[in-house]
Chain A
Amino acid sequence: MIGTAQARRSPVAKVGDEDLERLLLIRHFELTLLELFERGALNGTTHTCLGQEHIPVALSPLLGEDDFVFSNHRGHGHFLARYPDPHGLLAEIMGREGALCGGVGGSQHIYHERFLSTGVQGESLPVAVGVALRLKRTTHGGLACAYIGDGTFGEGSVYEALNMAQLWRAPLLVVVENNGIAQSTPTAAQLAGTVAARAEAFGIRHQRFAGVDLAWIRDELGPLVTAVRQTSGPLVVEFAAHRIGPHSKGDDTRSEQERLHAERSGWHRAYAEAFPEQFARIDARQRELVARVATEVAARPPVARPPVARPPVARPTGAAARSSAGERP
């Protein structure tokens, strides 16, 4: 698989406008976030997926309406590939009206329709197994798709989840975005052995992709995802990716050479060189689109928190309160 992927990395096959639109929407969204941070227009933190946009975009047509996607701290691309709503996402990140989760969750805690992200590594995987078990019972071929990174493999919950998923044949698609670096730590310094061998230890099928060609990834992955839907059990798909940007912002300690290598090896260059006119046209369009989104969202008033999102006020103790136990507002 690795060899095949390397051989076909360039040139990439013909690409539809909608795929390039999605790729470049995510790219410009992330670039805009970094720019907004630099200008002091954002607070807190953010983790951009620059260089990894092709992974959720490749997966997008393979996922159905019933499927549930679990994402992590680096989840803007996962979200935008599934729900192209840059207004809602940016409003959430900026705490403005129209925010997806009322400005409470921010960049890394989003629950929207069938998409959920959390900010603690590995936490989502056992939850995804639970959701997958329900989907297996209640839908026709729905699956849970969970994005994790190479760094996530440090957490014990990953292994507990893989074990249960395979034991119970949960329709779970684990997407590993192996970008070779966990925050600042190279994968070789934090992961012994391989992701493949870890999946194998549980008898779980593993597939690795090193290329960026969307058509090829989909062709190869399609039948495997169908097999997951037919509940032959979980699948671990590992993508060799390149994180172009910093972990969050301004915290990249890699050399310029490493960073440039990451930039040159990605989908962006491959598609720009293979289809220069189509690429330039869509790139300009998406750049403008995201600029408009940013201007528009920045001009919105701060989001007000809906009262329903607040916890109920504690009841007074005593006989009266006790007698009403069981009632819910």
Chain B
Amino acid sequence: MTRAERIVDNLNQALHQVMADDPSVHVLGEDIVDPYGGAFKVTKGLSTRYGSRVMATPLSEGGIVGVGAGLALAGDKAIVEIMFADFAGLAFDQLLNFASKSTMMYGRRVEIPLVVRCPTGGGRGYGPTHSQSLQKHFIGIPGLSVFEMSPFHDARELLPHLLSLGEPCLLFEDKVLYTRRAYQQGEVEDLFTFDLVGPPPYVARVRLGDGSEPDCTLIAPGGVAHRALSAMRALLLNDEITCQLLVPARLYPFDPGPLLPLLEGTRLVCVAEESTAGGTWGSEVAHRLHRHLWGSLPLPVSVVHSAPDVVPTALHLERDVLIQDTTIREAVLEALA
């Protein structure tokens, strides 16, 4: 990555790169062509450079995911932008009953290289239908892989990886990440360092620069990474609890294998996610870890969520509902008390 790249630019460059490298890649979405370049500008410049391979679509989320699946079925590769992840609800049938099933239900492997990008999450005051974290609704669907962008992962590696899988993938991109800078060269502010572990698309591991053994392991998807980092800092400086943070790019299917060696000796594992509780990615992770670490974990895995509520528009009310760094810190302190 170039120095201090904003994550929106990293994603944009990744899209430019996959379109340049592979003429079969098509990008579809609402308001994505120049000069507008998409609601969050992730697709800026694509239509100018790649013309008809970049399609501004009607407001037809179900339709455009279906069209993307059709392009992919027929031999192209398709990337579909859903303007707000909330609207992926409108495309749920195409993902659940067509795209994911079609890879398997015809008695042979059918390739559907389709990536559906979903700008997700709250924190920007967009209100109840533009701020949700819907990852959990897409967890556990055979044939559908779920990923999340993070400040540690390079979209230039992530996006080609997703397209290479030959099956439908959802890529969640937390909207609060777009304007933030990606971490690079293993440095995370002053206290921490990170490295990428496991097979692509990697789990980012963030820990104290001195490599000391962590008391606690936080696991969070990319959108919650900054809040987890802030909790780590407070736990270290105020509570003398050392944490490491693990941020997987792939949320589902989730392979705990690469994480297991990193969890040896940790007293507490705490999974933090922005969705509401109930049938979540975090509880899936907790379940998988319990199966593997039942005999060695001193404490049950904690899972922290946002409040069971809609996401209010007013910022002070939104803050009360969404998971914060303080929510994570308190959960860790409570579990270790």
Contact = CB atoms under 8 A, between A and B. Distances in A.
A107 interface: yes
A15 B90 CA distance: 43
A71 interface: no
A108 B63 contact: no
B150 to A, nearest CB: 25
Nearest to A302: B316
A185 B56 contact: yes
Given A104-B314, A106-B313, A253-B35, A44 B127 contact: yes
B124 to A, nearest CB: 6
A102 B317 CA distance: 9
B275 to A, nearest CB: 15
Interface residues of B, number: 35
A308 B89 CA distance: 27
Interface string A107-134: 1110000000011111000000000000
Given A190-B58, A191-B58, A120 B129 contact: yes
Contacts of A95: 313-317
B129 A154 contact: no
A120 B87 CA distance: 7
A44 B175 CA distance: 12
Given A120-B86, A310-B309, A303 B60 contact: no
Contacts, number: 114
Interface string B45-59: 000000000001111
A221 interface: no
B314 A108 contact: no
Interface string A83-114: 00000000010110001001111111100000
A45 B126 contact: yes
A154 B63 contact: yes
A152 interface: yes
B36 A104 contact: no
A156 B61 CA distance: 9
Most central of A102, A118, A121, A182 by chain B CB within 10 Å: A121
B26 interface: no
Contact of A303 (B36, B62, B309, B314): B314
A43 interface: yes
A190 B57 CA distance: 6
A119 B58 contact: no
B313 A154 contact: no
Q: Is the interface of A mostly helix, strand, loop or mixed?
A: loop
Nearest to A43: B125
Given A104-B314, A253-B35, A303-B317, A119 B129 contact: yes
Contact of A155 (B60, B86, B312, B315): B60
Interface in A148-179: 151-156
Contacts of A120: 86-87, 89-90, 129
A74 to B, nearest CB: 13
A219 to B, nearest CB: 33
Given A45-B125, A119-B127, A120-B129, A104 B308 contact: no
Contacts of A152: 59
A302 B126 contact: no
Contact of B59 (A94, A122, A189): A122
B274 interface: no
A120 B59 CA distance: 10
A261 interface: no
B128 interface: yes
B81 interface: no
B130 A119 contact: yes
Contacts of B314: 94-95, 99, 103-104, 106, 302-303
A184 interface: yes
Interface of A: 43-45, 92, 94-95, 99, 102-109, 118-122, 151-156, 182-185, 189-191, 251, 253, 302-303, 305, 310-311, 314
Interface of B: 30-31, 33, 35-36, 39, 56-63, 86-87, 89-90, 124-130, 308-310, 312-317, 320
20 contacts: A44-B313, A45-B125, A45-B130, A102-B312, A103-B317, A105-B127, A106-B125, A108-B127, A118-B129, A154-B59, A155-B59, A182-B31, A182-B58, A182-B59, A183-B31, A184-B31, A190-B57, A302-B316, A303-B317, A311-B308
Given A45-B130, A106-B313, A155-B90, 8 more contacts: A43-B125, A44-B127, A44-B315, A106-B127, A185-B31, A253-B35, A310-B309, A311-B308
